[in-house]
Structure 1
């Protein structure tokens, strides 16, 4: 534990020279607050639709510093954490429409990388949603049945323990669904996307946190040394969205953690079946996941999802020994053959969790649009979200602006209570969900 670097591994894979901060007053068509995936995809799709738009992005650090560059790198067809709840609320057809669109984003991200020569270590090899208990196997059976209904087809195949271990040779696995998707270096994706957006003519102001947003006929974003006046402001600040008054009680920042090993030797790699290098995701809400990096390091992530009183997002929370002890215990359960694997990086980041465990998009009075609530499954969902926000900004009535993600009279944003009830509620909710999943 003493040898662990509390540094984000992905940030070491590409050098960054942040752009200049905003130091003046700017007038533009669209100002996007937040230079992560959601904000950058929105800028990208807006420029594709209306190349003449003058778009400025204000980013507190630099693209890829926050959640977009700390993700585990799973490109998945996921819409929130609880698809069954979405079916119960919106029906199978609207849920199927959203599922189909986020699945399409997986393919389009691959095309974007090829078209724009973005080397993000993308491996379109799918992933296994795997069970380690009887309760999780029942969840997989339910997921398979629901996926079959939503797709109108046979659905994914539920693999036996023997079939699962032939793909990933962990003795903890007793079954799995193989799902389309892929693995990516999330930091390289964020940096590549920022480069492409700049080439489209978008201005990104790095090291420019937004201090205040004032709605209006032409809303204003105030920063430390300047301000931006725009026709429309778009808020895409992920787990920091709560800092803006309309969203104060709409989401909570929950910490997610990961560990990255030294590169595995050929001898170590040879101890386990893992021929296609799929990602591994355990079938539970607060999941455990594992994958290889491009240079054959092993990433093992998940464990306890921690909330700290007062919505604490300070970087000191990256050093939480209890989390890494639990991750190491889980790692030994999944991969006892790798007792000699040395972990070098241990880090965390905040995830924007909503009450309904699903994203929210919409518009507020005063020409402010928003998108947040990706709940740790944002790589594909933010790509789709960029199309949603594009059409909301342009005022288009489209298939995207009518997706179930979009807040309207049929979908109000549920709220969290204030502190200290929030801390008690979040921790109680976590324990309740773990209890229910163990008994499912």
Structure 2
């Protein structure tokens, strides 16, 4: 009855844990939810006002498939002014979130057996989007010892004649790893020296504005202009502007690729909401002071949790320099026994045990790294302290 593609799909580990958390809350249990990658701030007021004005002005009809002209012009200003990436409105595409943009890029380019290189841990949806389109994900192994940063030599060893894409997500979901310009230049040099010169590079910059400790954002198309004809730079308004529900993602890149992606979108959903597009243009063109303030809040929350976790023996949480996640190594606790006699055999059971103890996290196996967990600190200080208290107590009870 159903396609073979559907049979290959797995439920999103993030959504699985989020739903289990909702069920626990509905049952009356107290749970600190650290599953979803969603800012806990409201959409900035001036962005909402722009949406209201768009409705009042009758901007509720179809837009061009690849985005309204005002939004694409705002995106061009953003790429040129903030990132130093030359582009025109014809080089830009807009979709219902960055996820749709990425999906369309892979659908437009992958043939069965093509390989996509992605550092692990990686955003869970990458794996399924690649698989749905006939590709094979090849993970570049990383270590908490290096802050989960992929190494140039690992990239060089992984490239083959079947390589179609390299995906770089910086700052990263789930690890918070942010690559410096120097690190990206090392990757660029590997790409230049490779005998296989026809693969593409996807730079997923959705967490661009959430950087800590004075880290300067860098993106590959900015620092390696000779490779721009192979780079699709993806971004969106969801994370920086707390606009997850507005569903606006965008990208710039090789025009032929952008045109192919637009052709696909024409047959899927035509375009994202015209009102959302007006709001996104206001976010990109408007004041950025609130974005910077919220970044400071996220950095404070990161530091709060790292300080609390430092006192928990066996819990290893590398210090991220971006996004709003921690990706602790919990392998020291696997093989232990919970008070109810349950064996903590893997990170999935570990996450289930923590949920029973009132803390909801996502198992790292869903991000390509079993034995780890991801937790989002996009919540209040009080909730973070409560989560740390419960986590410490739950781990202390393991024998």
Say yes or no: TM over 0.5. no
TM-score by length of 1: 0.26
What TM-score do you get using the length of structure 2 for normalisation? 0.28
Greater helix percent: which structure?
2
Q: Higher strand proportion, which one?
A: 1
